[in-house]
Amino acid sequence: MEDMVQVIVNTEVKQKDPTEAVTIAISARALFDMEEEHELFLMEGVEKYIDHQISNEDTPMKEGIILPFIRAVQMVNKRLLERNPEEKQLFEVILLSTHSAEGGVRIINSVNHYGLEISKFCFLHGNDPSKYLHSHEVKLFLSACESSVCNAQKKGIPAALMMQQHCLTANEQLKVAFDGDSVLFSDETDLVYREKGLDGVIQHEKDLENVPMGEGPFKIFAMILGEMKKKFSQEDDPICTYLVTARSGNDLGIRAIKTLREWGLKIDEAFFMAGAPKGPILSYIQPHIFFDDNAINISGARAVGTPAALVPTYCE
């Protein structure tokens, strides 16, 4: 079951300009912990699932992995509107549901229970949610369904797979952490590594030190966050961004830094881990979400309570 509902996070009663809105698409199984409901759907079928949802309409579902991220996104919207009541570049969050609306009341009630400013719900009755992403100009798609994430990637939408876990997240800012290669940057260096090994990568990076790397799938979202950050002073910035990469600083860090400089993308803090585990630094940062393409790094993040978003590189 991948229960996904179209949801738009509004700030106050202000309508966001669809041409400037930063649209994030999410699934209900990412927003709420619906693993028990999902198991019921798999084991006993859709009718039992719907009956369960209807009989529990007034029982809120448990908080899911990305709910704190959505709260932080709403906080940024509020801060942007406090700064400029006419602000157009605001977040929208769209949650698409492959189930019918019959069992959707519990999702709506749960959204209201958590105080999320949501006004639009769309139930797709088995249709692939990825086909609706371009029509909403989605800039980020977070789902608990692997096939939905892969289908979104094939359509050029930055997408990541979310799995439920216990999370520790900071609250004072929206904190977003990115891996480098195959996430912020293209997979160019990873491909060289597979073909020529570490020595080949070091020489490759040295030869192309002044040539910017290609764009990774999450460059667009990182750039949007960078644009939002420019609207605030450093002391009053509600957004904090991080680069947490396996690259070493001395051999592979210079090209990464020069690429960010060429893009005009300022990252608040950058960590060149030289292949060391990322979990310890993530446990200190406590981001609302961490994007990485390596399953080992995802496991390490999950182990320290970091909401980990797997960016799959295996989608064909």
> Please, are residues 152 and 141 in contact by the beta-carbon 8 Å criterion?
yes
Residue 292 bridge partners (DSSP): 310
DSSP assignments along the chain, one per residue: --------B-BTTBPPPTTT-EEEEE-HHHHEE-HHHHHHHHHH-HHHHHHHHHHTTTSPPEE-TTHHHHHHHHHHHHHHHHH-TT----EEEEEEESS-GGG-HHHHHHHHHTT--B---EE-TT--GGGGTGGGTEEEEEES-HHHHHHHHHTT--EEEE--------SSSEEEEE-TBTTTB-SHHHHHHHHHHHHHHHHHHHHTTTSPPPBPTTHHHHHHHHHHHTTS-GGG-SEEEEEEESS-HHHHHHHHHHHHHHHT---SEEEE-TT--SHHHHHHH--SEEEES-HHHHHHHHHTT--EEE--S---
Q: Which candidate in 17, 51, 128, 179 is catalytic?
A: 179
Give the span between the Cα atoms of 81 and 276, in whole angstroms. 41
Distance CA 181, CA 292 (A): 9
Select from 75, 88, 109, 77 the least CA-distant residue to 5.
109
- Is residue 64 within 8 A of residue 212, CB to CB? The reply is no
Q: Is 251 an active-site residue? A: no
Ramachandran assignment for 69, one of left (phi > 0), alpha (psi -120 to 50 degrees), beta (any other): alpha
What is the set of active-site residues? 179
